[in-house]
Amino acid sequence: MKGPRLPYWTVAAPVLALFLMLPPSVQAGSWTFEGRKYYDPLTAGVREPHISALALATVTKMAFMVEDDDPRFAWDIDLGVELPLFGWESEDSLEGRVPKGEFGVGLWLPIDFHMIEDFADESAPIVNTDYRFGGMVKMQYGLSADEWFAMRIFVGHESTHLGDEFSIAGQREFPRSFERINVSWEFLDIGLLYERETWSVRGGATATLPFRYSYYQTGPGTATQSPFGPVTESTNWIDPYVGFDAEREESKWTIYLSGELRWRSVYDYHKVRPDAAEERQSSVNLIAGLKKSGDDKGFGRASPFARFYYGVNPHGQFRNQKDFKELGVGLRLAR
C-alpha cells in the first residue's frame, strides 16, 4: 500500500506559498481580480476549464451501457473557468499581456465540471461527471511586441463519479461484472507556452501528488467495489502532453483550430503483476470552429465548433478503455 493521500487543503497551498515569496516591493505593480492573458486554457484541452456543449455527438460504447448501439449518441458538457485572484507586473499590461522585456505573475483559481450523458439507454442517464479544482500560478515574459513566453504551475484535485441512474441500471443488468472504481487524485501540472498574436504552442506534463501515487483509490472506506477481487493500484504517475492554438481572422468571423496530444495511461484495475506499468496510447483531441471577430460580447461570443477525439477514454473510471472515439458539433463560449 502507498502512503496516505494529501489533505485537500494542501492542494493549493504550495502554489499560494510560491506566490507569497515575491518581495514586498512589488506592491506598486499589483492587480486584483482582473483578467490577464498570461496562459489561457488550451482550446482543445480535454479537461481544461471551458464552457461548451457538444450537443450532437457520437461516442464509442462504454462498459455497462445496456443497449448495444455502437457508436451511440451522447451529450458532452463542460463548465469551467479560471478565476483571477491577484498578481504583479513589472509594467502595466497591454490588452492582458505584458510588453516587451517585462514580466508578470499571478494566482488563479481554476474550477471545472465535466459531464457526459448517454441517449441510447432508457432515461438517458448521466454516465460520468468529473470535477477539477485547485490553485494555479501563471507567469509571462514579453519577448517582443507580439511574442511571449509563459509558464504555469497548477496544483489541483480531480474527482470522478458514475451517474446514479447509470450505476443502478449497470448493477441490475450486469450483476456479476459491474464495478465502481474511485478515480480520485491530486496532481501537479507544469506547462510552458510560446505565443504569438495568432498562434501558440505548448508542452508539459501532469503528475500525481505525491509523486508515484495511484490515480484511483483502492483501500477500505473508498467507493471502489469490484466482483473480480482486489483492485491493483496504478503504477504510471506522469502523462506528458503537447498542444497548439491557431486562428485566422476574416472580416466578420475568425476561424480557429486547436489540438492536444497526450501520452495517456490506460488504467488496468486487475493487473496480474501489481507492480507492472500500465499500457499507454497516444490520444488526440482536435477542435475547429468559428467565432465573431472583434470585441463583441454577449451572444456574439457563442462559437459553433466541431470536435474529434481518439485514444484513451478520458471519462472517469472508463480510462481503462482504448480506441475511444468521440465526434460531434456544438457551441462553446469563445475567448
Q: What is the CATH number of the domain that holds 273?
A: 2.40.230.10
Query: For the segment 33-76, what is each residue's pLDDT rounded down to a tens digit?
Result: 998 999 999 999 999 999 999 988 999 999 999 999 999 999 99
Does pLDDT of 31 surpass 70? yes
Rounded-to-integer distance, Cα 330 and Cα 335, Å? 16
24: left (phi over 0), alpha (psi -120 to 50) or beta: alpha
252 part of a folded domain: yes
What is the C-alpha to C-alpha distance for residues 180 and 42, in angstroms, rounded to an integer? Answer: 31
Confirm whether 162 is domain-assigned: yes
| Rounded mean pLDDT, 198-205 | 97
Q: What is the pTM of this model?
A: 0.90
Does residue 225 fall inside a structural domain? yes
Q: Is the bond into 125 cis (omega within 30 degrees of 0)?
A: no
Determine the structural domain holding residue 31 and report its residue range: 8-333
Question: Is 2 within the bounds of a domain?
Answer: no
DSSP 180: B
Residue 3 lies in a domain: no
Residue 26 has pLDDT above 70, yes or no: no
SS3 283: strand
- Which residue from 123, 113, 114, 124 is spatially nearest to 73, judged by alpha carbons? 124
Tell the residue number behind the cell numbers 498578481, with chain if given. Answer: 87
User: How many distinct structural domains can be found in the chain?
Assistant: 1
User: What is the distance, to the nearest Å, from the Cα of residue 17 to the centroid of all Cα atoms in its chain?
Assistant: 24
Which residues, 6+ apart, have CB-to-CB distance to 204 below 8 Å? Answer: 152, 189, 190, 191, 192, 240, 241
- Decide if pLDDT at 1 tops 70: no
**pLDDT, tens only, 292-330:** 887 654 455 889 999 999 999 999 999 999 999 999 999
